[in-house]
Amino acid sequence: MDFVNSMLRYVAAPHEIIMVNNASTDATQAYLQSIAQFHPQLQIVQSTKNLGFSGGNNLGLTKATGDIVIFLSNDTIATGDFITPITSVFEQLGPKILVGKTIHEHDTGWNTYIESRRDLTGGWVGVKVTIPYVQGYCVVLNRDGIQQVLERGKLWDDAMSERCDFEDMDLAYRAARLGWKLAVLEDLPILHVGSGHTANTLEGGRLAYTLEAQRRFKQKWGLT
């Protein structure tokens, strides 16, 4: 439980830690409840079914009360104060930003598509675009900004997939269409110990799963 311990070390009241237990079948819930009684900043949200990456994030968001919401995967570890630099970037740039530690602005092989746009004559033309996005293990938004990018009352599109496949790109693309900017905090003391999603690490059924999520993303936004 390195993630839990690191959060408790660097996040104190009045800040809040909201942990969603996504219908785990092991002793996770009992463990979290046993430590929550000693840490007033920790709130445990138990889901009776596995809602997936997006669904779990959306559930946690319904319990959050802070002005800034930080979404962290449970395969991350905090190694220092990460709240202060995040707060500072919103004070400098305002609410219409999507903040993260890792931002993919180049063509990764998964984020370049043909987008239909109106030309000067009113017709449609295909334009090649590379969609920059904040990698989903660490995504931060301001409360005011969240209200602007909600889609059908939800921040994360839980119809995309059950894992973190294209939900982060979908959120970034939605924000970009509203004129938002991305802000990267490369020195943020958050370590991602999980594996990245690249073409080189996806094999067999896992690759098929990601390709299906990509198909849904393209269909949703009319990309080719």
Q: Is residue 202 over pLDDT 60?
A: no
pLDDT given at position 196 = 44
Tally of CB atoms within 10 A around 9: 13
Q: Is residue 127 over pLDDT 90?
A: yes
Distances (CA, A) of 13 to 41, 82, 158, 164: 5, 14, 30, 29
Structure tokens at 144: 């005011």
pLDDT given at position 204 = 57
Distance CA 40, CA 17 (A): 9
Q: Is residue 190 over pLDDT 80?
A: yes
Q: Which residue has the higher pLDDT, 159 or 157?
A: 157
Distance CA 197, CA 103 (A): 13
Cβ–Cβ under 8 Å, residues 8 and 39? yes
pLDDT given at position 219 = 94
Q: Which of the residue ranges 43-57, 65-79, 103-117, 160-174 would you say has the lowest mean pLDDT?
A: 160-174
Residues in the chain: 224
Domains of the chain: 2-221 (3.90.550.10)
Average pLDDT of the chain, as a whole number? 91
Q: Which residue has the higher pLDDT, 135 or 27?
A: 135
Find the helix packing angle between 167-176 and 204-221, rounded to 10°. Answer: 20
Closest C-alpha to 174, from 158, 197, 151, 153: 151
Residue 182: beta bridge partners?
A: 98
Residue 199 confidence class, pLDDT cut points 50, 70, 90: very low
Q: Is residue 206 over pLDDT 90?
A: no
Q: Is residue 198 over pLDDT 60?
A: no
Cβ–Cβ under 8 Å, residues 150 and 158? no
Cβ–Cβ under 8 Å, residues 56 and 47? yes
Q: Which of the residue ranges 123-132, 176-185, 190-199 would you say has the lowest mean pLDDT?
A: 190-199
pLDDT tens, position by position, 3-24: 999 999 999 999 999 999 988 8
pLDDT given at position 205 = 67
State the amino acid at position 99 in one-letter form.
Answer: V
Cβ–Cβ under 8 Å, residues 180 and 146? no
pLDDT given at position 197 = 41
Residue 217 confidence class, pLDDT cut points 50, 70, 90: very high
Cβ–Cβ under 8 Å, residues 210 and 165? yes
Q: Is residue 180 over pLDDT 80?
A: yes
pLDDT given at position 162 = 67
Q: Going by DSSP bridges, is the β-strand pair 42-47/17-22 parallel, antiparallel, or unpaired?
A: parallel
Q: What is the mean pLDDT of residues 45-51?
A: 92
Q: Is residue 146 over pLDDT 50?
A: yes
Q: Which residue has the higher pLDDT, 38 or 117?
A: 38
Closest C-alpha to 7, from 28, 35, 46: 35
